[in-house]
């Protein structure tokens, strides 16, 4: 299989989809790996490291895409990358299509086979290719939010741990999954007063047991959200309905009940965000203010800590990359019921139901395509 690894071009995205370690695994099985010049630099991997692993370094981005069968990326393709896709390509990357109609249309028009990291499942009901980056983003959310609380950033001037004689700041996390738990752990470590809201009682039980009351757990209702906006200094949005657009849980009207200078960190922004006033931001300009409330909505948070993130991400993706390379996408997906839901778009059709529903499109069962 001819495999290409482009350099990521999203704003301040420094991750790379394959490490030299992964390249060695692939070339050792007889596959051809072509890596765009400098693709690994942001994550601390030099071109020479890939060459030692048997890969070729390709300076010409047109040639890189034209000669590839399987394209490995990190972030959803940007418009100039969508334009390079053809029906001969299999693309394996984060897609987050339910939040982006134009990207969905572009991928459909390309005719390519597009497999998303974030909709692959595991036997425990988890999302194993989203989880490592959710861990990173959850851990970063509180440091981003704490910085945003500083006066110079438009924040209220609250120091999350407080000081002796002054109460700590209050952090509410909506959605107690991987992002939410990791954000809550960081906030707890800083000494903040931490509450997690979730709709899953089973998940709240796990968190209650794990943190023994040091993190408060609350069933997520309209009343609980009203209480959160009135009391929190920071709210972290960490809700996910897999593959679907995120529900808007905090409306613009509710911002009026928040303390001025409080902070909303919408980690779920890549699926559309859970606050009505959220819009995607970049690492170059991560925050903006609406009605006195600071919003942080960076859609590729892990890109800022590219070394750790690349290692964490590629540990999880490599077995799937090897299966795609060894078997081809059809057999790799047919053989693995947890890999199959990764297929989002094939030959002009949407094959993931929640994405199709988000845009009123027809969806095709992926099982009918791979058999």
Ligand X SMILES: NC(=O)C1=CN([C@@H]2O[C@H](COP(=O)(O)OP(=O)(O)OC[C@H]3O[C@@H](n4cnc5c(N)ncnc54)[C@H](O)[C@@H]3O)[C@@H](O)[C@H]2O)C=CC1
Distances (CA, A) of 152 to 147, 158, 163, 261: 9, 12, 20, 11
Q: By CB under 6 A, is residue 17 in contact with ligand X?
A: no
The terminus-to-terminus CA distance of the chain in angstroms comes to: 21
Q: Which is nearer to Mg ion, 130 or 299 (CB)?
A: 299
DSSP state of 11: T
Q: How far is the CB of 247 from ligand X (least distance, A)?
A: 5
Q: How many CB atoms lie within 10 A of CB 333?
A: 29
Q: By CB under 6 A, is residue 120 in contact with ligand X?
A: no
Per-residue binding string, Mg ion, 58-87, x by CB under 5 A, is: ------------------x-----------
Mark whether 96 is an active-site residue.
Answer: yes
Q: By CB under 6 A, is residue 271 in contact with ligand X?
A: yes
Q: How far is the CB of 290 from ligand X (least distance, A)?
A: 18
Cβ contact 41:15 at 8 Å: no
Binder among 174, 184, 306, 345 for ligand X (CB under 6 A): 174
Cβ contact 198:249 at 8 Å: no
What distance in Å separates the CA atoms of residue 254 and residue 247, rounded to the nearest whole number?
Answer: 15
Residue 82 sits at φ, ψ, to 5 deg, of: -60, -40
Q: Find the catalytic residue in 193, 233, 266, 270.
A: 270
Per-residue binding string, ligand X, 74-103, x by CB under 6 A, is: ------------------------------
The contacts of residue 245 (CB under 8 Å, 6+ apart) are 98, 99, 271, 272, 358
Phi-psi region of 75 (alpha: psi -120 to 50; beta: other; left: phi over 0): beta
Q: By CB under 6 A, is residue 203 in contact with ligand X?
A: yes
Q: By CB under 6 A, is residue 278 in contact with ligand CC(=O)C(=O)O?
A: no
Q: Which stretch binds Mg ion (CB under 5 A): 109-117, 216-224, 293-301, 347-355?
A: 293-301
Q: Break the chain down into helix, strand, coil percent, rounded to 5.
A: 40, 20, 40
DSSP state of 258: S
216-245 binders of ligand X (CB under 6 A): 220, 238-241
Exposed, middle or buried, 12 (CB in 10 Å: 0-12/13-18/19+)?
A: middle
Say how many residues touch ligand X, by CB under 6 A. 35
Q: By CB under 6 A, is residue 94 in contact with ligand CC(=O)C(=O)O?
A: yes
Catalytic positions: 96, 270
User: Which residues sit at the interface with ligand X, rule CB under 6 A?
Assistant: 118, 127, 130-131, 133-134, 137, 174-180, 197-200, 203, 220, 238-241, 247, 267-271, 298-302
Q: Which residues bind ligand CC(=O)C(=O)O (CB under 6 A)?
A: 75, 94, 130, 133, 270, 300, 302
Give residues in contact with Mg ion (CB under 5 A): 76, 299
């Amino acid at each position: 299989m001819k495999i290409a690894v482009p350099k990521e071009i999203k704003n301040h995205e420094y991750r790379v989809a394959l490490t030299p370690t992964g390249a060695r695994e692939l070339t050792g099985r007889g596959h051809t790996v072509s890596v765009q010049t400098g693709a690994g630099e942001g994550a601390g991997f030099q071109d020479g490291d890939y060459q030692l692993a048997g890969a070729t370094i390709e300076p010409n981005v047109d040639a890189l895409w034209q000669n590839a069968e399987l394209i490995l990326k990190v972030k959803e393709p940007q418009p100039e990358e969508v334009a390079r896709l053809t029906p001969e390509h299999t693309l394996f990357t984060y897609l987050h299509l339910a939040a982006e109609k134009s990207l969905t249309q572009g991928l459909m028009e390309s005719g390519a086979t597009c497999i998303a990291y974030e909709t692959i499942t595991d036997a425990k009901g988890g999302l194993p290719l989203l989880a490592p980056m959710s861990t990173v983003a959850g851990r970063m959310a509180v440091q981003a939010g704490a910085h945003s609380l500083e006066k110079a950033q438009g924040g209220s001037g609250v120091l999350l741990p407080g000081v002796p004689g002054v109460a700590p700041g209050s952090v509410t996390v909506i959605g107690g999954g991987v992002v939410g738990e990791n954000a809550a752990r960081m906030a707890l470590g800083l000494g903040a007063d931490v509450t997690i809201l979730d709709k899953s009682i089973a998940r709240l039980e796990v968190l209650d047991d794990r943190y023994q009351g040091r993190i408060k757990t609350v069933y997520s209702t309209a009343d609980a959200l009203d209480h959160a906006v009135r009391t929190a200094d920071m709210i972290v949005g960490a809700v996910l309905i897999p593959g679907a657009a995120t529900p808007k849980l905090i409306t613009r009207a509710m911002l009026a009940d928040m303390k001025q200078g409080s902070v909303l960190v919408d980690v779920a922004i890549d699926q559309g965000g859970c606050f009505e006033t959220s819009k995607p931001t970049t690492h170059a300009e991560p925050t903006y203010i609406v009605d006195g409330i600071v919003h942080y909505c960076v859609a590729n948070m892990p890109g800022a800590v590219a070394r750790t993130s690349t290692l964490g991400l590629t540990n999880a993706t490599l077995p799937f990359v090897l299966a795609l390379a060894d078997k081809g996408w059809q057999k790799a997906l047919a053989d693995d019921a947890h890999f199959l839901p990764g297929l989002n778009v094939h030959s002009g059709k949407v094959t993931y139901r929640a994405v199709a529903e988000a845009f009123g499109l027809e969806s095709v069962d992926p099982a009918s395509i791979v058999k």
